[in-house]
Amino acid sequence: MINNLFGVRFAAIRGMDTTVEKNRQPGNARVLVIGAGLAGLCAALELGRRGIGCVLLEARDRIGGRVWTLDEPALGFPVELGAEFIHGYAPGTLQLLDTFRLASFEVPDRHLLAQKRKITGLPDFWQRIEPALESRPQGNTDVSFHEQLERLPLPPHDKSLARAFVEGFHAADPAELSQRALSLESTAAGRIEGNRAFRLLRGYGALAAELAAALPATLCELVPRAPVESLRWEPGQVEATTTGHLARRFLAEAAIVTVPPGPFQRLTFSPELGEKRKALELLRSGAVLKIVLRFRECFWRRKLAQDVYFIHSSQRHFPTWWSAQPFQWPVLKNTLFFAGEATQAAGLGGTVESAIQSGFRAAAEVAAALSAQAPHARAA
């Protein structure tokens, strides 16, 4: 029988045609959505539902962003190269699964520990790491996760488990990660039973595909291979310039920018963003290396006499392993809006759920701003 194991490793982590392309946009496209990950797709869908036309500009030749599902007919199940789990009862995600009739199933919350060439059960995994994750820094100051961990009177082994989890799950450098943010996020995750993990039967890619298919063709145009390099804006008007093969300019009344913090640093805004840019520069993206291995048989069943779901280790390069079982940002002058997982402040950051919530939130903000503008006040 074919099965696979997943391992994760983390390390520290542009000929332009000068034609203004307004006429090539759908006649009523009022908003530019930049990035067709889950945040961008949800934002476009919500704008469409509200009858607001948009152009969705995506740098790559595929949608989904950090959601990337490989459909391998020979395997019989989808292989997730990006996001894989729904963490807990994530309301926005579950609502979409319901809308599109996409099935999900729970992955047993069973953890093993690999240490000194031995694999042992770790039934109390969450109880051992939660005190470190949820602990709040004292007063109004913030400290790094590393500093907080040093102060906590926890058993050394629990500390190293928590450290490996932060490096693995959050892709974060413990010396840089904000303990305040981590504790907020862990507490928010607790409210939706974030320790429980679910998978989409057809993979997250199916959700991205359904979202794209649900975009009203008369209102939303998706433009792939359109990496935006600069945004000129003034209240009520945005001009986005794309580079490469499809070097073009796009005009609209507002834009929702869902570009993640890394590539965001390369985007130029004119005029500059000021405070917003300073805040963005405080965000870091961790680099992730996810390796998918395919085996002829589930050899671990023979060796361990049990199924394997999650394995944790203090091994430096690949601290987190799991099997496929049971398968075999706010408004700038009502013109620029920000979405994407990194812009959701209230917990659950870094997840598909936060990307989905941010897309719907940004679309509602744009709709409110557009309806508040008198038509004569809009830029021509």
Ligand X SMILES: Cc1cc2nc3c(=O)[nH]c(=O)nc-3n(C[C@H](O)[C@H](O)[C@H](O)COP(=O)(O)OP(=O)(O)OC[C@H]3O[C@@H](n4cnc5c(N)ncnc54)[C@H](O)[C@@H]3O)c2cc1C
Q: Which two tokens stand for residue 8?
A: 């994760």
Contact (Cβ atoms closer than 8 angstroms) between residue 258 and residue 39: yes
Of positions 102, 223, 352, 369, contacts ligand X by CB under 6 A = 352
Q: Counting contacts by CB under 6 A, is residue 83 touching ligand X?
A: yes
CB of 40 to ligand X, least distance (A): 6
Q: Counting contacts by CB under 6 A, is residue 35 touching ligand X?
A: yes
Coil/strand/helix, residue 238? strand
CB of 68 to ligand X, least distance (A): 8
Binding to ligand X, residues 107-146 (CB under 6 A):
none
Q: Counting contacts by CB under 6 A, is residue 34 touching ligand X?
A: yes
Of positions 96, 259, 273, 362, contacts ligand X by CB under 6 A = 259
CB of 352 to ligand X, least distance (A): 4
Q: Counting contacts by CB under 6 A, is residue 341 touching ligand X?
A: yes
Half-sphere exposure for 257 (CA within 13 Å, toward CB): 34
The sign of the CA dihedral 311, 312, 315, 316 is: positive
Of positions 67, 200, 231, 273, contacts ligand X by CB under 6 A = 67
With respect to ligand X, which residue has the nearer C-beta, 172 or 267? 267
Coil/strand/helix, residue 332? strand
Binding to ligand X, residues 3-22 (CB under 6 A):
none
Q: Counting contacts by CB under 6 A, is residue 65 touching ligand X?
A: yes
Distance CA 135, CA 129 (A): 10
CB of 340 to ligand X, least distance (A): 3
Q: Counting contacts by CB under 6 A, is residue 87 touching ligand X?
A: yes
Distance CA 238, CA 370 (A): 13
Burial of 301 (0-12, 13-18, 19+ CB in 10 A): middle
CB of 380 to ligand X, least distance (A): 25
Q: Counting contacts by CB under 6 A, is residue 290 touching ligand X?
A: yes
Of positions 32, 33, 39, 172, contacts ligand X by CB under 6 A = 39
Q: Counting contacts by CB under 6 A, is residue 60 touching ligand X?
A: yes
Helix segments in the chain, DSSP class H: 38-49, 91-99, 125-134, 145-151, 156-169, 179-191, 204-213, 261-264, 275-280, 299-304, 352-372
Burial of 239 (0-12, 13-18, 19+ CB in 10 A): buried
CB of 12 to ligand X, least distance (A): 15
Q: Counting contacts by CB under 6 A, is residue 351 touching ligand X?
A: yes
Of positions 9, 30, 66, 170, contacts ligand X by CB under 6 A = 66
CB of 310 to ligand X, least distance (A): 12
Distance CA 230, CA 270 (A): 8
Of positions 3, 32, 55, 58, contacts ligand X by CB under 6 A = 58
CB of 37 to ligand X, least distance (A): 2
With respect to ligand X, which residue has the nearer C-beta, 290 or 378? 290
Q: For the sheet containing 104-107, what is the strand order?
A: 85-87, 197-200, 104-107
CB of 183 to ligand X, least distance (A): 19
Q: Counting contacts by CB under 6 A, is residue 222 touching ligand X?
A: no
Q: Counting contacts by CB under 6 A, is residue 350 touching ligand X?
A: yes
Cβ-Cβ contacts under 8 Å for 34 (sequence gap 6 or more): 40, 57, 228, 231, 240, 255, 256, 257, 258, 259
CB of 80 to ligand X, least distance (A): 7
Q: Which two tokens stand for residue 315?
A: 């091994």
Q: Counting contacts by CB under 6 A, is residue 85 touching ligand X?
A: yes
Distance CA 56, CA 258 (A): 11
Coil/strand/helix, residue 290? strand
**Residues found near ligand X in the complex (CB under 6 A):** 34-40, 57-60, 65-67, 82-85, 87, 227-228, 258-260, 263, 267, 288, 290, 340-341, 350-353, 355
